[in-house]
Amino acid sequence: MSKTLRLILGDQLNHSHSWFKEKDKNATYILMEVMQEQTYVKHHIQKIIGFFTAMRAFARELKDEGHQVIYYYLDANENQQSFNKNIKWLIKKLSFEKFEYQMPDEYRLDSELKDFCKSVKIKTEVFDTEHFYTSREEVKIFFKGKKQYLMENFYRYMRKKHQILMDLNQEPEGGKWNFDHENRKKYDGKVPLKKPLTFKRDVSDVLNVLTKMEVSFFGNVNAKEFSLPTNREEALELLEYFCHDLLPAFGRYEDAMLKEHLTLFHSSLSFALNLKMLSPQEVINHVISTWRTNQDSITITDVEGFVRQVIGWREYMRGLYWAEMPDFAEKNFLNHKKSLPSWFWDGKVKMNCLKHSINNSLDHAYAHHIQRLMVIGNFSLLAGVSPDEIDAWYLGVYADAVEWVQITNTRGMSQFADGGIVGSKPYVASANYINKMSNYCSGCFYAKEKRHGNKACPFNSLYWNFYLKHEEKLKKNPRISMLYRLLDKMDEEEIHKITAQADHYLQNVNEL
Ligand SMILES: Cc1cc2nc3c(=O)[nH]c(=O)nc-3n(C[C@H](O)[C@H](O)[C@H](O)COP(=O)(O)OP(=O)(O)OC[C@H]3O[C@@H](n4cnc5c(N)ncnc54)[C@H](O)[C@@H]3O)c2cc1C
Ligand code: SF4
């Protein structure tokens, strides 16, 4: 092997990668904390600390295993704060003969590294990250020639291809492919809530560096008791905790929301998965084997619901990203242009559902799927906020936010900015849905049952206003036609009151 520099990005902390099978004295690994990655969007403080702490732990483990590692701290003198500059300088200084990297999961970095390789004179080679079930192109190939990317079809293909939850007759275990309809219970207190597993690490040193380097960030952190898993051991502990303590109620309460509890029965594994500290295969295998040996307490509904998220949605979103980028990042089907309300940044809003969901996000760099989709995303879509602003907020605020999974969920699933690539209709709902799935409405400043008038819940008028405003683009959609029939039956005065109420709220959105 010629003298080689191997780049490891912050979301490539895969211990099982074949690079590490042998200790080669000609291979040097480089990990870098760079300002370049702190400025393309403003990040939540816990996201930055989480990435840096996990990268530091990974570099330490590689060194302990006998690999040669260079680690650039953000405040190191020699750090030129960009991947390209640092790598170029190292190649020259240490006379590397070859540069290798793993395929980045982000379009921006992928292009940057391809260009970089063209600009250097030494040999270069790119490797797979060996993390996902699928290749970058697999989703594109699967849907070639088909009218729509239907996740359910891809999910069934994945189940068959990888023999996950399939019986000996090649039928889905439990007799059904999908138990989605049984994943929609409000939390009824029948299963006691568990205290989330957090890791209580002191990360003051990282916070001090960020402050010293004047990195711009937002959100809150308890630096003495940092909660995210930041090494392999903690990631495995979290997986174990999920399988034994949360999986038995995961399915039934998957869509439920609660004022008093941040995560309910969700796994909180996305951060560890997206940094590749865990592989999706080991997560799925562990979940299924826990179910097989605990069928008295864990049902197929719980397991199938979880498996669908990981081998279905997660792989599908990633494939769709590579199939549709870079055009996807420009899509704005509904031509939405409004600014984000100011309370997205400070959580000071009277709407109880948004107050809880946004403050959860600001305090923990986490919100679970339904808070992201049916509260925060729902409001943003109804209020006509620009997808660019929404993307920047989502990409910054969540610790697990990496563009391939953030933008497809936000611009696609949540904002319908792709005009129906990810979802066949917009995910919008009125107070009725939020009240059905949560306890947010009780004690809210607004009245959940009112469409207009004093303290009417903003979701109600904005919901109907959304359909009225986008009638031309949405009425043809067969999945929405029933709503337009309801609107056709509504009397004119009621419609006038709804639109006047919605206009009033939109003009005063920062005061909601
Ligand atoms: C608007 C919006 C933005 C989102 N942004 C992100 C993001 O930046 N990063 C991210 O990882 N997920 C994102 N998601 C998907 C999902 O909300 C999170 O993966 C999940 O909330 C993470 O929490 P958890 O690990 O407790 O998930 P669980 O509910 O326990 O689910 C298990 C795992 O399934 C995977 N998963 C679940 N739903 C999805 C999905 N829709 N797409 C892809 N994978 C999924 C995740 O890896 C997750 O860890 C977003 C969803 C929406 C609606
Ligand atoms: S009443 Fe409206 S604003 Fe208040 S919590 Fe319910 S849905 Fe949200």
Question: What CATH number should be reported for the domain holding residue 195?
Answer: 1.25.40.80
Give, using CA atoms, the residue closest to atom 1 of ligand 2: 448
Give domain status of residue 323, yes or no: no
End-to-end CA distance of the chain: 63
Is 27 found in the same domain as 92? yes
- Mean pLDDT of all residues in 155-181: 94
Ligand nearest to the CA of 256: 1
For residue 147, name the pLDDT band (cuts at 50, 70, 90): confident
91, 117 Cβ separation under 8 angstroms: no
CATH number of residue 361's parent domain:
1.10.579.10
For residue 118, name the pLDDT band (cuts at 50, 70, 90): very high
DSSP letter assigned to residue 18: G
Is 189 found in the same domain as 57? no
Annotate 448-464 with b (16+ C-beta within 10 A) or e (fewer): beebbeeebbbbbbbbb
Q: Is the pLDDT of residue 121 over 80?
A: yes
Q: Tell me, in angstroms, the distance from the centre of ligand 2 to residue 468's CA.
A: 21
Q: Is the pLDDT of residue 488 over 80?
A: yes
Task: Work out the mean pLDDT of the chain and round it to a whole number.
Answer: 95
The structure tokens 């040996």 sit at 293
**Overall pTM surpassing 0.85 (yes/no):** yes
* 252 Cβ neighbours under 8 A, 6+ residues apart: 182, 183, 185, 301, 302
Is 373 found in the same domain as 245? no
- What's the CA gap between 201 and 237, in Å, rounded? 14
For residue 148, what pLDDT is reported?
79
Q: How many domains does the chain have?
A: 3
Query: What is the token pair recorded at 294?
Result: 């605990």
Query: What is the token pair recorded at 472?
Result: 């031309």
Q: Is 257 in the pocket of ligand 2 (CB under 6 A)?
A: no
37, 47 Cβ separation under 8 angstroms: no
Domain-terminating residue out of 105, 127, 149: 127
Minimum-distance ligand 2 atom for the alpha carbon of 448:
1
Ligand nearest to the CA of 444: 2
Q: What is the percent of the chain where pLDDT is above 90? A: 93
- Mean pLDDT of all residues in 257-280: 97
Q: Is the pLDDT of residue 242 over 80?
A: yes
Q: Tell me, in angstroms, the distance from the centre of ligand 1 to residue 405's CA.
A: 8
For residue 108, what pLDDT is reported?
95
Is 502 found in the same domain as 371? yes
Q: Is the pLDDT of residue 200 over 80?
A: yes
Ligand nearest to the CA of 378: 1
Query: What is the token pair recorded at 75?
Result: 């405040």
Ligand nearest to the CA of 11: 1
Q: Tell me, in angstroms, the distance from the centre of ligand 2 to residue 42's CA.
A: 29
List pLDDT tens digits, range 313-357: 999 999 999 999 999 999 999 999 999 999 999 999 999 999 999
Containing structural domain, residue 250: 162-313
Q: Is 314 in the pocket of ligand 1 (CB under 6 A)?
A: yes
* 6 Cβ neighbours under 8 A, 6+ residues apart: 19, 27, 28, 29, 30, 100, 101
Is 168 found in the same domain as 122? no
Give domain status of residue 452, yes or no: yes
Q: Where are the alpha helices (DSSP H) in 135-279?
A: 138-142, 151-161, 204-212, 232-241, 247-250, 270-274
452, 501 Cβ separation under 8 angstroms: yes
Q: Is the pLDDT of residue 373 over 90?
A: yes
Residue 71 CA, chain-centre distance (Å), reads 27
CATH number of residue 55's parent domain:
3.40.50.620
Give domain status of residue 463, yes or no: yes
Q: Is 279 helix (H, G, I), strand (E, B) or coil?
A: coil
286, 243 Cβ separation under 8 angstroms: yes
Q: Tell me, in angstroms, the distance from the centre of ligand 2 to residue 252's CA.
A: 23
Lowest mean pLDDT among 88-102, 126-140, 472-486: 472-486
Q: Tell me, in angstroms, the distance from the centre of ligand 2 to residue 357's CA.
A: 12
For residue 279, what pLDDT is reported?
98
Q: Is the pLDDT of residue 40 over 90?
A: no
For residue 183, name the pLDDT band (cuts at 50, 70, 90): confident
List pLDDT tens digits, range 64-85: 999 999 999 999 999 999 999 9
Q: Is the pLDDT of residue 229 over 80?
A: yes
* 365 Cβ neighbours under 8 A, 6+ residues apart: 44, 45, 46, 47, 50, 219, 228, 397, 398, 399
Mutation test of ligand 1: which of 243, 275, 400, 427 has the most ligand atoms closer than 8 Å to its C-beta?
A: 400
Is 175 found in the same domain as 266? yes
Minimum-distance ligand 2 atom for the alpha carbon of 430:
7
Q: Where are the alpha helices (DSSP H) in 72-147?
A: 83-93, 107-119, 138-142
For residue 199, what pLDDT is reported?
95
Ligand nearest to the CA of 284: 1
Is 360 found in the same domain as 285? no
For residue 11, what pLDDT is reported?
98
Give domain status of residue 139, yes or no: no
Q: Tell me, in angstroms, the distance from the centre of ligand 1 to residue 270's CA.
A: 6
Annotate 467-484 with b (16+ C-beta within 10 A) or e (fewer): bbbbeeebeeeeebeebb
Give domain status of residue 338, yes or no: no
The structure tokens 């179910």 sit at 291
Domain-terminating residue out of 127, 148, 177: 127
Is 176 found in the same domain as 307? yes
For residue 149, what pLDDT is reported?
86
Mutation test of ligand 2: which of 352, 378, 512 has the most ligand atoms closer than 8 Å to its C-beta?
A: 352
Give domain status of residue 417, yes or no: yes
Q: Where are the alpha helices (DSSP H) in 202-346?
A: 204-212, 232-241, 247-250, 270-274, 280-293, 300-307, 315-324, 343-346
List pLDDT tens digits, range 17-27: 999 999 989 99
Is 176 found in the same domain as 73? no
Give domain status of residue 226, yes or no: yes
Give, using CA atoms, the residue closest to atom 17 of ligand 1: 369
Q: Is 398 in the pocket of ligand 1 (CB under 6 A)?
A: yes
Q: Is 381 in the pocket of ligand 1 (CB under 6 A)?
A: no
- Mean pLDDT of all residues in 239-254: 95
238, 269 Cβ separation under 8 angstroms: yes
Is 385 found in the same domain as 239? no
For residue 182, name the pLDDT band (cuts at 50, 70, 90): confident
Give, using CA atoms, the residue closest to atom 37 of ligand 1: 309
Is 298 found in the same domain as 191? yes
Minimum-distance ligand 1 atom for the alpha carbon of 398:
8
Give domain status of residue 333, yes or no: no
Q: Is 155 in the pocket of ligand 1 (CB under 6 A)?
A: no
Is 476 found in the same domain as 350? yes
For residue 146, name the pLDDT band (cuts at 50, 70, 90): confident
